């Protein structure tokens, strides 16, 4: 691969090749030709320990028009409202303080600051989402977050007390420029809050379906620290949140301006102990991915052999990775069902699976659950379906069939 996205080191080493795949969110219309496929290979940089993919699909192609809408998911809305209350108390934010949200999507998070009378502005490259957020009163700049959009906000609104990046920091093609922009915006007094899927949890859950072209980098505390240090920032607090199957919440500020909490050393020591700085851990992960494929295909083919009708539940980005990496196509699945009207009527690229409106699609014998990170919410929603003899199939953390007999053991806490 070219040099490392974080440290520019020249020796990133490949440990997983998921084959050529289309951009996962490039959903097709019926008349569209197949989407172009790009390499999806994952590398480990021995110099700064950052895990990353080598191929960059141009950001305009991936994020100019975006179909993932945060507000669709109840779990996410609640998560952002909780985070806002927690950060206000924790950081002592007050009325008129400025909060800047990177990749603010439809403004779901932005809106939560308003009742507390903070000023909030989002930066969102997708025109459709920025327009929607602005129409709903969540002030949004339609741009990619980088040094120049950061400078624009600083000129217009002053320094930020808080810059947030939830579920977007691994998307950044202009990683160095964006990080520099954050450092400028928070100055000596502000805080940068990153929430990102934790590589440690991805490894623990064999959640390889988090790997797709939109996710250029996969973070540990150590690799984030390496990046932030290049721009004079340091991490002063780390926590793990249940959202998206296990996300890091990192708080950082200008070096030396905050007391570094014991949680930082705690995470760094655990990462060291778990070998996240060693390529062997990633080779083991790759082996588990292929074992998951074998077990999942066996389960699906068994059900199919018994004449069962199987739908995919949901059509999230990670679902395209799962289906295309494992070759699960229309010989096994009839369709995917969705509640997001931006997706229904389209096709998942690669496998070309039609996406139908969930309410109109009928009821299969089993659903392959693609957004397994929202499994508890989905289990609650489909409780009657399962208790009446339907099934869920999940791929991670390991392939499993959920029926009325084991429903309770999976329906536990939120993930
Ligand atoms: Zn590196």
How much distance in Å is there from the Cα of 228 to the middle of ligand 1? 13
Domain 63-274, CATH among 2.40.128.20, 3.40.50.1400, 3.40.50.150, 3.40.50.2300:
3.40.50.150
Measured distance CA(197)–CA(166) in Å, rounded: 9
Residues whose CB is less than 8 angstroms from the CB of residue 362 and which lie 6 or more positions away in sequence, other chains included: none
Question: Distance from the CA of 7 to the center of ligand 1, in angstroms?
Answer: 4
How far apart are the CA of 331 and the centre of ligand 1, in A? Answer: 41
Q: Is the separation of the CB atoms in 389 and 260 below 8 Å?
A: no
CA of 254 to the centre of ligand 1 (A): 22
Asked if 18 and 325 count as a contact pair (C-beta separation under 8 A), the reply is: yes
**CA dihedral of 143, 144, 149, 153, whole degrees rounded to 10:** 70
Q: How far is the CA of 165 from the centre of ligand 1 (A)?
A: 21
CA of 223 from ligand 1 middle (Å) equals 8
63-274 and 302-410 in the same fold: yes
How many angstroms does the Cα of residue 5 sit away from the middle of ligand 1?
A: 7
Q: What's the gap in Å between 227 CA and the centre of ligand 1?
A: 9
Determine the pLDDT at residue 171: 82
Give the sign of the dihedral formed by CA 19, CA 23, CA 26, CA 27: positive
Q: State in Å: Cα 194 to ligand 1 middle.
A: 19
* 37 upstream amide cis, omega within 30 of 0: no
Residues in the chain: 415
Distance in Å, CA 8 to ligand 1 centroid: 6
Q: What is the pLDDT of residue 242?
A: 81
Distance of CA 77 from the midpoint of ligand 1 (Å)? 34
CA 11 to centroid of ligand 1, rounded, Å:
8
CA of 266 to the centre of ligand 1 (A): 22
Question: 125: CA distance to ligand 1 center in Å?
Answer: 27
Asked whether the beta carbons of 240 and 271 are under 8 A apart, the reply is no
Structure tokens at 19: 């084959």
pLDDT for res 125: 92
pLDDT of residue 24: 82
- For residue 415, the model assigns a pLDDT of 41
pLDDT block averages, 10 residues each, the chain of length 415: 90 96 88 91 96 88 69 81 95 97 93 93 94 95 94 96 91 90 97 94 93 93 96 97 84 98 98 97 98 97 97 94 96 95 93 96 97 89 96 94 95 58
Dihedral (C-alpha) 175, 179, 182, 183: value to the nearest 10 degrees? -170
Distance 326 CA to ligand 1 centre (A): 29
Strand partners, 165: 102, 194
Tokens 């199957």 locate to 245
Matching residue, tokens 């059900």: 303
Q: What is the pLDDT of residue 67?
A: 66
Contacts of 229 (CB under 8 A, 6+ apart): 255
Indicate the fold that domain 302-410 takes in CATH.
Rossmann fold (3.40.50)
Q: Where are the domains of the chain?
A: 63-274, 302-410
Task: Report yes or no: 212 and 318 within 8 Å, Cβ to Cβ.
Answer: yes
Ligand 1 centre and the CA of 221: distance in Å?
14
- Tell me the angle at which helices 175-186 and 221-229 cross, rounded to the nearest 10 degrees: 70
Could you write out the three-class secondary structure of the chain? CCCCCCCCCCCCEEEEEEEEEECCCCCECCCCCCCCEEEEEEEECCCCCCEEECCCCCHHHHHCCCCCCHHHCHHHHHHHHHHHHHHHHHHCCCCCCEEEEECCCCCCCHHHHHHHCCEEEEECCCHHHHHHHHHCCCCEECCCCCHHHHHHHHHHHCCCCEEEEECCHHHCCCHHHHHHHHHHHHCCCCEEEEEEEEHHHHHHCCCHHHCCCCCCEEECHHHHHHHHHCCCEEEEEEEEECHHHCEEEEEEEECCCCCCCHHHHHHHHHHHHCCCCCHHHHHHHHHHHHHHHHHHHHHHHHHHHCCCCEEEECCCHHHHHHHHHHCCCCCCCCCEEECCCCCCCCEECCCCEEEEECCCCCCCCEEEECCHHHHHHHHHHCHHHHHCCCEEEECCCCCEEECCCCHHHHCCCCC
pLDDT tens sequence across 167-208: 888 888 889 999 999 999 999 999 999 999 899 999 999 999
Q: Looking at the DSSP assignment, which residues form a beta bridge with residue 120?
A: 99
Give residue 188 CA to ligand 1 midpoint distance, Å: 27
User: How many angstroms is it from 26 CA to the middle of ligand 1?
Assistant: 29
Distance 50 CA to ligand 1 centre (A): 6
Tokens of 66: 């975006």
CA of 12 to the centre of ligand 1 (A): 7
**Residue 10: count of CB within 10 angstroms of its CB:** 11
- Residue 33: exposed, middle, or buried by beta-carbon count in 10 A (0-12, 13-18, 19+)? exposed
Tell me the CA–centroid distance for residue 6 and ligand 1, in Å.
5
Hey, what are 32's tokens? 């569209």
**pLDDT value, residue 414:** 44
Predicted local confidence at residue 2, as pLDDT? 79
pTM of the model: 0.88
What's the 75 CA to ligand 1 centre distance in angstroms? Answer: 34
């Amino acid at each position: 691969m070219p040099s490392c996205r974080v440290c520019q080191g020249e020796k990133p080493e490949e440990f997983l090749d998921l084959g050529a795949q289309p951009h996962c969110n490039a959903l097709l219309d019926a008349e569209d030709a197949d989407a172009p496929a790009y390499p999806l290979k994952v590398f480990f940089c021995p110099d700064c320990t950052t895990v990353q993919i080598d191929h960059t699909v141009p950001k305009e192609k991936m994020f100019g028009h975006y179909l993932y809408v945060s507000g669709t998911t109840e779990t996410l809305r609640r998560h952002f409202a909780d985070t806002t209350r927690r950060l206000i108390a924790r950081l002592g934010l007050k009325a008129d303080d400025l909060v800047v949200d990177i990749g603010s999507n439809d403004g779901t998070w932005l809106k939560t600051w308003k009742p507390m009378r903070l000023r909030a502005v989002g930066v969102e490259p997708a025109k459709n989402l920025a327009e929607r957020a602005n129409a709903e009163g969540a002030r949004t700049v339609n741009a990619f977050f980088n040094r120049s959009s950061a400078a624009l906000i600083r000129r217009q609104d002053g320094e930020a007390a808080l810059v947030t990046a939830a579920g977007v920091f691994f998307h950044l093609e202009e990683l160095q420029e964006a990080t520099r922009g954050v450092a400028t915006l928070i100055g000596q007094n502000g805080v940068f809050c990153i929430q990102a899927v934790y590589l440690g949890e991805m490894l623990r859950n064999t959640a390889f379906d988090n790997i797709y072209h939109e996710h250029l980098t996969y973070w540990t505390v150590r690799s984030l620290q390496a990046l932030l240090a290049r721009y004079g920032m340091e991490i002063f607090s780390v926590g793990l949140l249940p959202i998206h199957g296990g996300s890091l919440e990192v708080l950082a500020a200008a070096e030396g301006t905050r007391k570094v909490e014991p949680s930082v050393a705690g995470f760094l020591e655990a990462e060291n102990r778990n070998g996240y700085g060693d390529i062997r851990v990633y080779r083991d992960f790759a082996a588990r991915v292929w074992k998951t494929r074998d077990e999942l295909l066996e389960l699906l083919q068994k059900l199919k052999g018994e004449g069962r009708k199987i739908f995919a539940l949901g059509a999230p980005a990670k679902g395209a990775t799962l289906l295309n990496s494992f070759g699960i196509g229309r010989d096994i699945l009839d369709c995917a069902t969705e509640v997001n009207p931006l997706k229904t009527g389209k096709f998942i690229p690669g496998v070309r699976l039609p996406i139908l409106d969930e309410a109109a699609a009928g009821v299969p014998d089993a659903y392959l659950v693609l957004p397994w990170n929202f499994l508890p919410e989905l289990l609650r929603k489909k409780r009657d379906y399962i208790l009446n003899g339907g099934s869920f199939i999940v791929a991670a953390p390991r392939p499993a069939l959920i029926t009325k007999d084991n429903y309770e053991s999976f329906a536990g806490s939120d993930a």
